[in-house]
Structure 1
Amino acid sequence: MGSENRQYLEKYFPIASFIAAIMGPKCEVVVHDISDPEHSIVHIENGHISGRQVGDASTDLVLKILKTEAYHEEQYIANYRASGKMGQSFRSSTYFIKTDQGKLVGLLCLNIDITHMEVAAEWIQHILQGGPTPYIAPATLDQAPKEEKQATEYLQGNADDLLQHMVSSVTNRLTIPPERLSSQEKIEIVRELNDLGVFLLKGGVSQVANALSISEPTVYRYLQKLK
């Protein structure tokens, strides 16, 4: 963590502890340093909820925020859906930590485990013979296209897990093997992964090359075409 980032982020460590003390053991509070996406977690309270710890990586949503620069016009995004690697459901919110000049240096994230609440809500709805379980509406990013306005997040530990999840979320939609895709189709997949922020992480090029059955130089060439 750079000295300038530390100056701002350390102010939020006691705030994170304060929030966790109020909200209780089902609320995870995380401070991210955006200067190191592969090891962005610099402070965490109740990390047992997601299994994460200091030194772990960013999330897919953090990378998307950095890539789309969704923080310029907003100070936070609130009440969106997140999922954990152990199958949990979360109601999450993210506050953008900025310098006095408006430069983004970090994020303060709250993840409330609502897994058991959803089970209880479903049971209550069944007893009352009402409609489907009410859906917790996620926050929106104004910069996103209309069809992508619902923010979601996947909470995991290390950067390799994050990369695998992000690449798989795109390639799993393929209806034919990657080696049968045309060059233009592969370029479009690289474009989508680039928009998600996959290439902000070390190893992103290698993961994508393996997933698409192409060489790393080819991935770099496709990225050049996107500029």
Structure 2
Amino acid sequence: MEATRRLLESYFPIASFIAAIVGPKCEVVVHDISDPERSIIFIENGHISGRKIGDGSTDLVLKILKGEAYRDRHYIVNYKATGPRGQQFRSSTYFIKNTEGTLVGLMCLNIDITHMEVAAEWINHVLQGGALTLPTPMDTASEDKPQESEFLQGNVDDLLQHMINNALSKMNLPIDRLSSNEKIEIVKELNEQGVFLLKGGVSQVASALSISEPTVYRYLQKLR
């Protein structure tokens, strides 16, 4: 554990270096994945997203841990993220691995491009006399581009509710009209996203689906 901590701490000055170069609109975060509920151990320009040391992982971090996408790559770049106040970010994540190749942490860059998009549209309109169709971060990403997005929220309960709401919105039906199979599909999707890596995941999903916690565990058993 001490070796892992030293490895993660070696990225702190790198994070500060990047933030100093890019400027105050760039948030840089170092995550310790051993504790998803309090994974943020270092952050520069945290005022951008409102997060702080001791806050939890994001939905994308949980998905990375669950899906093990880090095994065959070193980083993912240029994906979209949104902040709690509706800000738009262009984000990238570097996978921090130990000498055995085991993932132990993440260094994440989140550049606030909310006002840049507005300015770019205005400049394009003045110069070309037409509306701008902006390329998304996905369009301009490298071959490593993931089809991902991220919600930059440090509060675990809010993050869980955000992920659950997203899953429920795909059903287009009220909870009381969902069949058992549809609820199993929701549990499956949330499991793939890493919701149950968080301690309150089972309880919050059970409440949202109007089922008991043992029922959630039973659904998870069926998915194995």
How big is the shift at 1:171? 0.9
Q: Say which SS state the counterpart of residue 118 (structure 1) adopts.
A: helix
Check conservation: 1:121, 1:133, Cα contact below 8 A.
Answer: no
Length-normalised TM-score, structure 2? 0.94
Q: TM-score, normalised by structure 1?
A: 0.93
* Aligned-CA RMSD value: 1.7
Q: CA deviation at 1:180?
A: 1.6
Q: Percent identity?
A: 70
Partner of 1:222: 219
Aligned to 1:45: 44
2:172 and 2:108 mapped to 1: Cα distance? Answer: 36
CA contact (8 A) 1:125 1:133 kept: no
Q: Is the 8 A contact 2:90 2:137 kept in 1?
A: no
Q: Secondary structure at the match of 2:72?
A: coil
Partner-residue secondary structure (3-state), 1:47: coil
| Deviates most, 84-93 or 129-138 | 129-138
Counterpart mapping for 1:194-205 below 5 A: 194-205=191-202
Residue 59 of structure 2 is aligned to residue 60 of structure 1: yes
What secondary structure is seen at the aligned counterpart in 1 of 2:7?
A: helix
- Alignment gaps of 5+ in structure 1: none
Listed one character per residue, the Cα deviations across residues 12-70 of structure 1 (whole Å, up to 9, x for unaligned) are: 01111111111110100000000000000000000000000000010000000001000
Tell me the distance in 1 between the aligned counterparts of 2:53 and 2:12. Answer: 12
- Secondary structure of 2:70's counterpart equals coil
User: Partners in 2 of 1:199 and 1:141 — Cα distance?
Assistant: 30
Match of 1:156 in 2: 153
Point out where structure 2 has 5 or more consecutive residues left out of the alignment.
none
| Structure 1 stretch displaced more, 126-135 or 78-87 | 126-135
Q: Which amino acid in the other structure matches residue 105 of structure 1?
A: V
Contact 1:5 1:33 in 2 (8 A): no
- The structural deviation recorded for 1:131 is 4.8
Letter in 2 for 1:74: R
| C-alpha distance in 2 between matches for 1:15 and 1:194 | 33
Q: Counterpart of 2:184? A: 187
What does 1:28-43 align with in structure 2 at a 5 Å threshold? 28-43=27-42
